[in-house]
Amino acid sequence: MTRARPRGRTALADEQGAVALLVLMAMFVLSAAGLVVLGAVTDLAVTAARARTAADSAALAAVGATPLLGGDGDTCAAASDAAEANNGRLVRCESAGAPGASGATGSGVLVEVAVAPDRQLVRTLAGDIQAKAAAGLRPTSGPTLPVPTDDAQSPAPLQRPAVAPD
């Protein structure tokens, strides 16, 4: 036996609670998905910054290993150590203009470092994040910065070299 509906009520009026529950569940699922996406984007941004930092550090360490600065000359090993100290991996290391090479005016290095994202989902989708950096030495010509002394006097201002008129 079926129950008769009271006058004025429709079938839709009986389902209003179920629709509200479905809307609430959909909002929850969309919010959770949004948080996952936000976390992934944040992880990508942080990993990219870490990769740039590791690359800069590796390039500077490589230049610091040059014989001109008292290093042992193994620039790529120094770059690799610096990259690993910053949770990275040295992908590429190229030295150019080694001291003593004919025509070289300085020493430079180009490095590329890869850093793995923290989240497994981002590692799977994006892989390692890579960054490049270059650093080098160049001879100075012209004015140099004054060396501060122990006394409280301020250093003399920079002097421009005199240029002979044409």
pLDDT for the residue 10: 61
Looking up tokens 């008769």 gives: 4
What are the tens digits of pLDDT across the range 53-78? Answer: 999 999 999 988 887 777 787 889 99
Q: Which two tokens stand for residue 55?
A: 């690359």
Q: How many Å apart are CA 34 and CA 138, to the nearest integer?
A: 49
What are the tens digits of pLDDT across the range 73-111? Answer: 788 999 999 999 999 999 999 887 544 333 334 468 899
Q: How many Å apart are CA 127 and CA 78, to the nearest integer?
A: 25
- Per DSSP, the residues of 97-129 read S-TTSTT--S-EEEEEEEE--SSHHHHHHH--E
Region 114-142 average pLDDT: 84
Is residue 126 within 8 Å of residue 147, measured between CB atoms?
Answer: no
Tell me the C-alpha to C-alpha distance, in Å, between residue 122 and each of 21, 88, 130: 32, 16, 14
> Where exactly are the structural domains of the chain?
29-136
Q: Which two tokens stand for residue 20?
A: 């509200």
Region 137-162 average pLDDT: 53
Edge-to-edge strand list for the sheet holding 129-136: 89-96, 108-115, 129-136
Q: Angle 10-15-20 (CA atoms, 0-180°, nearest 5)?
A: 135
The pTM assigned to this predicted structure is 0.63
